[in-house]
Chains A and B, each alone.
Chain A
Amino acid sequence: MALTEQPESIGVAAGVSIRAVGLGLQTRRGPVFSNIDLTAAEGDIVCLAGPAGTGRTSLSLALCARMKFSSGELSVAGKPLPANQRWLRKISTISPGSGFGDLDDGLRVIEEIRRAYWMAGRHRRSGAAQTVAAAGLIGRERTLIRDLPASDIQRLNIACAFVDDSRLVVISDIGSGVRAADQPELWELVEFFSKATGATTVVTSIESNPARGVADQIVELADDRSLETLPGGESL
């Protein structure tokens, strides 16, 4: 339904290529992620899949310079990091839902969208309507976030991530709280926006299956992490 509508062109943002070799992050409390290899072309959709505690959120943040890494190499659009981190931060966006900067329970749908637009430095109302439509939330603009079902929250997360018109978009935990059966829809939405804007999209997820057919790259994170235990048996 909403998917068939083309969003008003918000400017064609060229995507970025990503190249990571042996990327890792080690903290005092142990490794967060290690030995990650990834190659993505402009406009690709990348899936980082793994259960909770495997460092996929940290990895996705590292790929857009919101978290530092301690080993390996990373270059985005040919520019190496961490030298170009400021540049990378300016051209990349993270969706709400990572646990840091989530949608606010007390706000309404339309208010969160406006927030996204204001943070992007844009004031066009018509863009907001488009985004509402794209997220499939027409008629529910005044619904409070806390009253939205999980799938709608995820749709809104995705929609808000693309408001910035960034070249690299990170979607955090796409399937969080959503039944397996409803997840393909979310992936379609990601594909829709990614194609429309041309942005390279990195999506973290528990399951990799729903990503097949949509994602151009899939990185499984289960193996490395599950072999290690942290002191005290706590999860990260």
Chain B
Amino acid sequence: MIRLFGLSFLELRRYRRSDLGRSAIVAVILLPLLYGTVYLIAFWNPYDNLASVPAAIVNSDKPAKLQGQTVQAGKDLKDGLVAGKSLSWNVTTDAEAEQGLETGKYYYVIKIPENFSGSIASLGSKNPKIAVLSLTTNDANSFLTSLVGDSVASQMQSQLGQTIIQQFVETTLNGISTIRSNLETAATGSAKLAGGTKTLSSGSKQVASGAKQVASGDAELASAADVARGYAQDAERRSDQLVATAAKFARANPGDELAADLLAAARRVNGVIDDVADKIIATSRKIDQLGAGAQELATGARKLSVGAAKINSGAQQLAKGLNSGVGQIPNWSPGQATNLANHVSAPVAVKQVTLNNTGTYGAGFAPYFMAMALWVALLIVFMLLEPVPGRVLLAPRMSALGVTLVGFIPVVIVTVAQVVVLLTVIHFGLDISPPLWAYGSLFVFLALVAGTYAAIIQLLGAVFGVAGRLVALVLLMLQLCSSGGTYPIQMSPVFFRTISPYLPMTYAITGIRHLLVGGQVGPVIKSVVVLMAILLIALSLSVLHVATHRKLKVIDIKPEISM
């Protein structure tokens, strides 16, 4: 047993004897720490950095009126979100937002529809409508945004519930209750009024009909008096005629005592008849006057009755109107009120839409793993092939460019085969099946990615020699955390955000993602351009290094460690 331990220690001790060996052991021990801490720092709490993730708001809301007040729920929501900084909100037009979402400028787009305020204003009515916002993400930009979108949506809903709607509806509900109770009082009062006027009305009707009767009875009396007067006048006339006749007779028969007696009698009768007639006429006049007064009374009573009837009908209408008004005001039972409150406390629904939906977690992460797998593959290839082949380096007629390319091209040939394998696995293993032509562009793009990686790792091998592989490993770790393959890069700390645009894996993932899920061509082209630039720069630097390092060092012919 001691032998074994002794042998094992000697295996390690030989590394103590050279600088490179010591560095190698230290590096190897620190490696997991590097990977672990870098990864943890990058993803410690991505949700803390949500405020840096760019998003767009499109406000198409038209203000609505509720009880005379203007409701601008759309503008309020927009202002609230921008100030609240739940994401890095930008107010844009519909077209700008869609374009931004397709190209990856924005990760989230919220659209406030035209009828937003209208829906909110409808909350207190019999048919409350839920205002629907739409939240759109694009899996071609990042897979996890749609998952993170859930938390964004609920943040928004709670924001809405708390700051705007709740207060608003509370006030409205309270106001409505007050109105209702006031109306009830008015309704009760007007009912009483209606009852009183009804009595008045019927009473005045009776008066009117009574007066009418009086008037008509009086009219009868008056007409009877007219008749009497007529008779009286007639009688007067006749008695006058009689007197006249008697007079005539008396004159015709002077000295005739009978005639004279007759005349005297006629005169006496005439006088009596005149008296009576006068009395009758006077009485009939009085009766006329009485009739006129009774007529006036009847007319007045009729007017009174009509007026009272009008008042009564008005009061009835008022009472009816108030009642129906009260009836229109919703009278919530406690159960109904709770239901409405629940309805109202979530008056806004957020409809979440995912563009270019990749479906499963695995499919969403495929671009990330593919980009990572290619880097690892290239690392391993450079363990078999020399970054700078020794024999050609020493050859007199080989230019620096020639030497570099003889190191580069074989690696590319191998990685092309690796890319074919990768694509085959993708096709049979994943449930996303891009169309056949897309495989062609995917193949070319992956070959470009592999070529770029190869150029970088070759450069590292040329400059750092054997330690270059270690540097490549460190670069792998950094890229895993800063390429935005999982969460949007804005959710990682500033350091990773800063280095992200300078590392090839960022662009590899962007391009693969858009090609796999069928996103926009724009980001793919941008990635292609940047990757080619990185490739050319790395190759050029390698050529430069080779040109200035065509000598060997003693270490090259007697290496201390081999990896």
User: Quick one: which of A32, A98, A119 contacts B398, CB cutoff 8 A?
Assistant: A119
Query: How far is B396's CA from A90's CA once the two chains are assembled, in angstroms?
Result: 5
Contact A89 B550 (CB under 8 A): yes
> Closest approach, in angstroms, between the C-beta of B511 and any C-beta of chain A?
36
Contact: A166 with B551, CB < 8 Å? no
A11 within 8 Å of B by Cβ? Answer: no
**Inter-subunit contact B554/A164 (CB<8 Å):** no
Once A96-B391, A101-B390 are accepted as A-B contacts, the answer to whether A166 and B396 lie under 8 Å apart by CB is yes
- Are A32's CB and B557's CB within 8 A? no
Contacts A100-B390, A101-B394, A119-B397: A66 and B554 contacting too (C-beta < 8 A)? no
**Does B257 lie at the interface of the complex (its beta carbon under 8 Å from any beta carbon of A)?**
no
Binary contact track B548-563/A, C-beta < 8 Å → 1, others 0? 0011111011100000
In the assembled complex, the Cα of A98 lies from the Cα of B17 at a distance in Å of: 25
B395 contacts which chain A residues (CB < 8 A)?
93, 119-120, 164
Bound together, the chains give a CA A98 to CA B551 distance in angstroms of: 14
Q: How far is the CA of A32 from the CA of B550 in the complex (A)?
A: 19
With both beta carbons as reference points, the residue of chain B lying nearest to A170 in the complex is identified as B394
Q: Which of A84-135 contact B (CB under 8 A)?
A: 85, 89-94, 96, 98-102, 115, 119-121
Contact (Cβ within 8 A) B17 A121: no
At the interface with chain B, which of A57-65, A190-198, A207-215, A219-227? A57-65
CA distance A57 to B550 in the complex (A): 16
Q: Does B393 sit at the interface, judged by CB under 8 A?
A: yes
Asked if B392 is at the interface of the complex by the 8 Å CB criterion, the answer is: yes
Could you tell me which residues of chain B, from 376 to 399, have a CB within 8 Å of some CB in chain A? 389-398
Chain A 30-65 interface 0/1 with B at a Cβ cutoff of 8 Å (1 = within): 001000000000000000000000000110010001
Is there an interface contact between B396 and A32, defined as CB atoms closer than 8 Å?
no
For B550, the chain A residues whose CB sits under 8 A away are 66, 89
* Identity of the chain B residue whose Cβ is nearest the Cβ of A57 in the assembled complex: B557
Q: Are A67 and B396 in contact, with the CB atoms below 8 A?
A: no
Q: How far is the CA of A90 from the CA of B553 in the complex (A)?
A: 19
* B363: min CB distance to chain A, Å: 41
Chain A residue with Cβ nearest B547:
A86
A99 and B397 in contact, given A65-B551, A232-B17 (Cβ under 8 angstroms): no
With both beta carbons as reference points, the residue of chain B lying nearest to A88 in the complex is identified as: B396
Q: Does A27 contact B (CB under 8 A)?
A: yes
A120 touches B557 (CB 8 A): no
A120 shortest CB reach to chain B, Å: 5
Residues of A in contact with B, size category: 20 to 34
Residues A89 and B396 in contact, CB atoms below 8 Å apart: yes
B344 to chain A, nearest CB (A): 80
The CA-CA distance from A27 to B394 in the complex, in Å, is 22
CB atoms of B554 and A100 under 8 A apart: no
Enumerate chain B residues within 8 angstroms of A68, measured Cβ to Cβ: 551
Q: Which chain B positions have C-beta within 8 A of A61?
A: 551-552
A102 vs B391: C-alpha distance in the bound complex, in angstroms? 7
Q: Which of B17, B391, B551, B554 contacts A101 (CB 8 A)?
A: B391
CA distance A67 to B557 in the complex (A): 11
B557 touches A58 (CB 8 A): yes
Shortest distance from the beta carbon of A61 to any chain B beta carbon, whole Å: 6
Flag if B390 contacts A67 (CB, 8 Å): no
Question: Which of chain B's residues have a CB closer than 8 A to the CB of A3?
Answer: none
Within 8 A of A (CB), among B13-45: 17
Whether A21 sits at the interface, judged by CB under 8 Å, is no
Query: In residues 514-563 of chain B, which contact A (Cβ within 8 Å)?
Result: 550-554, 556-558
Report the minimal beta-carbon distance from B145 to chain A, rounded to whole angstroms.
Answer: 50
Determine the distance from Cα of A67 to Cα of B550 in the docked complex, in whole angstroms.
9
* Residue among A25, A61, A120, A164 with the highest chain B CB neighbour number at 10 A: A61
A164 touches B552 (CB 8 A): no
Asked whether A91 and B391 contact (CB < 8 A) given A27-B554, A100-B556, the answer is no
Residues of chain A within 8 A (CB-CB) of B396 are 89-93, 164, 166
Chain B nearest Cβ from A66, distance in angstroms: 5
Given contacts A96-B391, A100-B390, A101-B391, contact A121 B397 (CB under 8 A): yes
Question: Is A66 touching B398 in the complex (CB atoms < 8 A)?
Answer: no
Cβ distance A4 to chain B, nearest Cβ, rounded Å: 29
Knowing A66-B394, A92-B396 are in contact, say whether A32-B554 is a contact too (CB < 8 A): yes
Q: In the assembly, what is the distance between CA of A92 and CA of B398, in Å? A: 12
The complex places the Cα of A236 from the Cα of B553 at a distance, in Å, of 12
Centre residue among A57, A68, A119, A232 by max chain B CB count within 10 A: A119
Whether B397 lies near A100 (C-beta < 8 A) is no
B394:A94 contact, CB within 8 angstroms: yes
Contacting residues, chain B, for A121 (C-beta < 8 A): 397
**Residues of A close to B558: CB separation below 8 A:** 99, 236
| A236-B554 Cα distance, complex, nearest whole Å | 9
- The smallest C-beta distance from B19 to any residue of chain A, in angstroms, reads 9
- Most chain A beta-carbon neighbours within 10 Å: one of B389, B396, B398: B396
A176 to nearest B CB, angstroms? 13
Q: Is the CB of A119 within 8 A of B551?
A: no
The B384-421 residues at the A interface (CB cut-off 8 A) are 389-398
Q: Tell me the complex Cα distance, A106–B113, Å.
A: 71
Minimum CB–CB distance for A208 against chain B, Å: 21
Residue of B nearest to A61 (CB): B552
Give CA–CA (A61, B557) in the complex, Å.
11
Q: In the bound complex, do residue A120 and residue B390 qualify as a contact, i.e. CB atoms below 8 Å apart?
A: no
Q: How long is the Cα–Cα vector from A121 to B389 in the complex, in angstroms?
A: 17
Nearest to A92 among chain B residues (CB) is B396
B557 proximity list for chain A (CB < 8 A): 57-58, 98-100
For this complex, 24 residue pairs linking A to B, each with C-beta atoms less than 8 Å apart, are A32-B554, A58-B557, A61-B552, A66-B394, A66-B550, A66-B551, A67-B554, A68-B551, A85-B551, A89-B550, A90-B396, A90-B397, A92-B396, A93-B395, A99-B557, A101-B390, A101-B394, A119-B391, A119-B392, A119-B395, A119-B398, A120-B397, A164-B395, A164-B397
* Interchain residue pairs A-B with the least CB separation, the first 8: A101-B391, A101-B390, A119-B395, A121-B397, A99-B557, A100-B390, A100-B557, A90-B396
- A-to-B contact residues, CB < 8 Å: 25, 27, 32, 57-58, 61, 65-68, 85, 89-94, 96, 98-102, 115, 119-121, 164, 166, 232, 234, 236
Add 14 more A-B contacts to A89-B550, A99-B558 (CB < 8 A).
A25-B554, A66-B552, A90-B397, A98-B557, A99-B557, A100-B552, A100-B556, A101-B394, A102-B391, A119-B392, A119-B397, A120-B395, A234-B17, A236-B554
